[in-house]
Structure 1
Amino acid sequence: MMNSGMMNTAGAYGAGKAGAPFDLMTFIRRPAVILRLVAILFSIIVFGCLASEGYMEDKCIMNESNACGFGVFVGVIGFLGSVGLLVLEWRFEQISSVKIRRRAVLGDLGFTAAWAFFWFIGFCYMANQWSKTEEDATVADYGETNAQAAVAFSFFSIPVWLALAYLTYLRYQQGVANAFNPGFESDAAGGMPRGGYSSYPGAPDDHYQDAPFASPGQNQGFQSPAY
């Protein structure tokens, strides 16, 4: 979910600090966002083609198999998942908890990798069943173009989802690497240290300071006032 610029941000798991101002143009130009929009488009094409002209007399035109139903299933869930993950990408920088960010990235990675595999299975299944479909003038006139489009865009979806899985993996790796850096958990919360307290600006690092106007080595204990 990131490009090289995002990988260098101070926030946790490849995103800016929580509460940072939202920039729509920067968001749209992110590689992960572009790929998710492409994934949404391809999913719509696949399940739209199969739902509109994938069946004839309640039978799938792909060798009367379950290929149409499987393609619709993969397309619909891929569409809903892509929309959900796009919303998560939009809201990610508003998550102040590093642990929640980590769970979100792991969930994204698991679903994205799984659906890349489902698209591969769907493509192989539909291509195989379409190749076995007997040539019929009625089928050719009715749903040949839609069936071919569904098969083609199932294939195109595979590299898109693999690329998304790779970007998400990079985000996870960056989060794991930064987890050992000092102040990592403060990044997601907008710079607040882990304990929730920040020192005043310019405060020295030493925990002890001599009292004002005291000479070096002077006893700093209690002295009774002179009358």
Structure 2
Amino acid sequence: MSTNALPPLTLLELADTGLPGIESYSPFCLKAHRALKYAGLPYARGCADNPASHRAHNPTGQVPVLLVGKEAVPDSTAILARIQQLAPGRIDASPEALLWEELADTSLNGFLVAARWADDRNWPRTRAAFFHFMPAPVRAVVPTLIRRKQVERLVGRDVWRAGAEACWRRFGALLDQLDARAPEQGFWLSGALSVADLALFAQLQSLRTPLTPWQGAEVERRGRLSAWLGRVDAATRTASVPLRAAS
């Protein structure tokens, strides 16, 4: 399908971070951004500080949501599948790639959430970045309540159940495994860039921000993994066609 025949595309998401190479603090929005760019699909952005602002298009109040004309496609996995339909063959979505996506979206994401919400070293930066738009009296109370709920969920996911030391020990072991598996050249699976690259990249790149400096440094010191991240970043950072300005 040529870009001239495409319905208008709008990615509903969180506010832009203002950081080069990090279009969104949401790794799932970041995944959708890089997939759209790599597929060469022009799109507009619909940003909001609160994901619940997009509830009209997704009853769960979660982002991202891709509007394909008037059709709302929520969830980053479903969005990548829709991108496959709009740009067939551009991104590998083999069963193996989808397995890696599942690992990224569950296991790796758990450590990202823990780094931002449970790690006392990072919480002040997370609070400032995520809640700056709130009035001061609300900001003094609400972020702490939300943090408490996030940590409870992390315990339920068995990410934080044994505490910080065990969590970051497991995180390091997972990074070591990924570093040993990372390709010395090219992308994660043989051949073209795949869903595996996009999903793993989105979670790991989201750790390499000022919000989580210790975890980002742990990623950086795995040489093969860091080099692969650089290749995916270079391949997906710039759209192959101009993006439409958001209305």
TM-score of the two chains, using structure 1 as the length reference:
0.28
More RCO (CA 8 Å, sep 6+): 1
TM-score of the two chains, using structure 2 as the length reference:
0.26
Higher helix share: 1
Bigger radius of gyration among the two: 1
Higher strand share: 2
